[in-house]
Amino acid sequence: MGSEKQHFTVRASASRLDKGLLAVPQRFRDLFPRERTQIRVAFDDGESLKELTFQPYDSVVKESRIFGLRQWFSKRGIREGDLISITVESQERKRYRIALDRFVRERQEQRARQGLQGAKTDSEAEEQLKILSQLARRRPREVAREELLRIAEQSTPQSRPTALPRVAERREVVPSATRVLLRELHEGKCQLCSFTFEKRSGEPYFEVHHLDPKIGHHPSNLIVVCPNCHAQFEHAMVTDLCWASGWLVSVTINGKRTPVRQPLAKDSNWRALLGLMIIIAAARVGRFLVR
């Protein structure tokens, strides 16, 4: 395989977790020393090395074994069934890397999420959303929905900053990350009338309206609209805003009641119900243990 590092995955079992060891299947025996020795191991995406005892292939148990992993198992909260990757960094130098796939993926997702939130342009935000979707193995629209809910839950509405151009004061635009997430979730379609059109770039055209112009870019303060509906919000008589779980679900414009397509309200209701069910279940378990 040339200079490419060899890599394989094993699944954690309860018996080996209890013993603090990893079993190396027979087909990978040639990637390790032929005698009992110490090997140098780096964990997850770290660089520091630790010496561990390696036991070569045993015809009785039909596997090789790496000992001394009990502390790492405990630190990462490794459970039966978790996938653990083993990479041969240098067979000559007896150097290997052991990584919990779940932990590494979470770290990668965290970096992609930070990149998404720090994106300065829509294209940067799109690239980070693509990476996040690949890591989560889910469609961008599903990831966008989860990210918008996460942002809404972890932040509170704040005063909307102003930008000062040369001619007149104007409000700061929606951050690229939030704009891209909203576009993915709603497919660029107006939440009131579902209208959009394809721009020359191939992207759907949409605008983002702040329900309260003085409040910042909290997801619950933003809706995706077409130019016509946006103009109505700005200039028509807008009354009777109806909310569900903190999300706008209908509004009256010039006396006409109009529903607002709001999938995030349904997700918030489900999360709240799930949280209540967990609390009730925990309370019941607590009463049972007290008996």
| Tokens 């780096």 sit on residue | 42
> What confidence score (pLDDT) does residue 169 get?
47
pLDDT score recorded for residue 144: 94
Q: Which fold has domain 6-101?
A: At1g16640 B3 domain (2.40.330)
Give the C-alpha distances (Å, rounded to integers) separating 264 from 11, 142, 178, 217, 247: 36, 11, 14, 16, 7
- Model pLDDT, residue 5: 84
Q: Got the DSSP string for 133-161?
A: HHHHTS-HHHHHHHHHHHHHHH----BPP
Model pLDDT, residue 162: 61
Place of tokens 């990350």: 177
For the whole prediction, is pTM greater than 0.75? no
- Residue ranges of the chain that CATH labels 2.40.330.10: 6-101
Report the first-to-last Cα separation within the chain, whole angstroms.
62
Q: What is the model's pLDDT at position 160?
A: 63
β partners of residue 86: 8, 98
CA separation for the pair 84, 101 (Å, rounded): 6
Half-sphere exposure of 158 (CA within 13 A, CB side): 8
The confidence score (pLDDT) of residue 157 equals 73
- 232-169-246-271 Cα dihedral, nearest 10 degrees: 120
Q: How confident is the model at residue 3, as a pLDDT?
A: 56
Tell me the C-alpha to C-alpha distance, in Å, between residue 261 and each of 191, 207, 238, 246, 253.
Answer: 5, 15, 17, 14, 15
| pLDDT at 58 (0 to 100) | 83
Which residues 6+ apart lie within 8 Å of 244 measured at CB?
262, 265, 268, 269
| Ranges of the chain with pLDDT below 70 | 1-3, 159-172, 267-291
